[in-house]
Amino acid sequence: MGKVIVVASGKGGTGKTSFCAGVSSVLAACGNNVLVVDTDYGNRNLDIVLGMTNCLLFSFADVILGRCDASSADVEHPDIKGLYMLTAPAIKLPKGVTREGVRKLMERAQSSFQYVVVDCPAGVTDYIGMFAACADLCVVVSTPDSASLRGGELMASALYRWGVPEILLTVNRVRPRLVQKKLAYNIDDAMDMIGVPLLGVVPEDEAVIASSNIGCPLVRAKRSKAMNAYRNIAKRILGQDVPLMKI
């Protein structure tokens, strides 16, 4: 059975979707079959970050409701072998998408893929809890600012209540100068505030925005500190002993 990794944040703007795209791309590049699922109905953008906007027709809701089979909805990336995407409904979540339907969707994905990476919408809701209930690992993504860290703390508390077996933290969009000037929290502060172990640290990087705007996956960028950080994180998920990136 494949491993389900649910990625969540208590607040928007943390770079959670870029994290999902970057890490899933590396997991696939390492020879794994990977399904990345966008669950942010009405505000989906993982397809933009991965450059797959014109490739997707059916959503995970279509699979749950029996409107199509999974093989039609899971679309392989045109350039990254082994990376597949399942998108969210474009407007709203149809009636009939239930906790049981989500569970069956995730079980089916686990039987076909070695890793299933779930990009959740921001905030703490019971909807996210449906996916978290299926997770082997949840990653809380936060930036090192007060509002984001408070949201991350609330999300981590909810994940504990939902019974997630393992919860890890990624501190994203870190700006070293602000940390040095004590205008942003450092990594130890972030870990203490959210209360979960650290998976990785990702620096702020203009290449993330540039790649998204031109519809080119960040993994194709020639120079990207953020992508290097995502590579290290993916290797840790694969069980490799990789030191934290110095930023």
Token pair in block for residue 76 = 């392989």
| Number of residues written out for the chain | 247
CA distance 16 to 213: 17
CATH class of 3-237: alpha beta
- Bridge-partner residues for 59, per DSSP? 87
As a whole number of Å, the end-to-end CA separation of the chain is: 36
Q: CA separation (Å) from 216 to 77, 93, 172? A: 11, 28, 20
Mean pLDDT along residues 144-163: 96
Which 8-state DSSP code applies to residue 220? Answer: G
Predicted pLDDT of residue 16: 96
Predicted pLDDT of residue 146: 94
Mean pLDDT along residues 217-232: 90
Inter-residue contact 64 to 99 (CB < 8 Å): no
Predicted pLDDT of residue 182: 87
φ, ψ of residue 220 in degrees (nearest 5): -85, -10
Predicted pLDDT of residue 145: 93
Mean pLDDT, the chain, whole residue set: 94
Mean pLDDT along residues 96-113: 96
Pairing of strands 115-119, 83-86: unpaired
Residue with tokens 């949201």: 151
CB-based contacts of 104, cutoff 8 Å, min separation 6: 64
Inter-residue contact 134 to 102 (CB < 8 Å): yes
pLDDT in tens, 169-192: 999 999 989 888 888 899 999 999
CA distance 40 to 80: 23
pLDDT in tens, 195-221: 999 999 999 999 999 998 888 888 888
| Confidence tier at 244 by pLDDT (50, 70, 90) | confident
HSE-up of residue 101 (Cα within 13 Å, Cβ side): 14
- Greatest extent of the chain over all pairs of C-alpha atoms, in Å: 54
pLDDT of 104 strictly over 90? yes
Mean pLDDT along residues 116-138: 97
Inter-residue contact 198 to 187 (CB < 8 Å): yes
Predicted pLDDT of residue 243: 85
Predicted pLDDT of residue 20: 97
Predicted pLDDT of residue 179: 87
Mean pLDDT along residues 96-101: 96
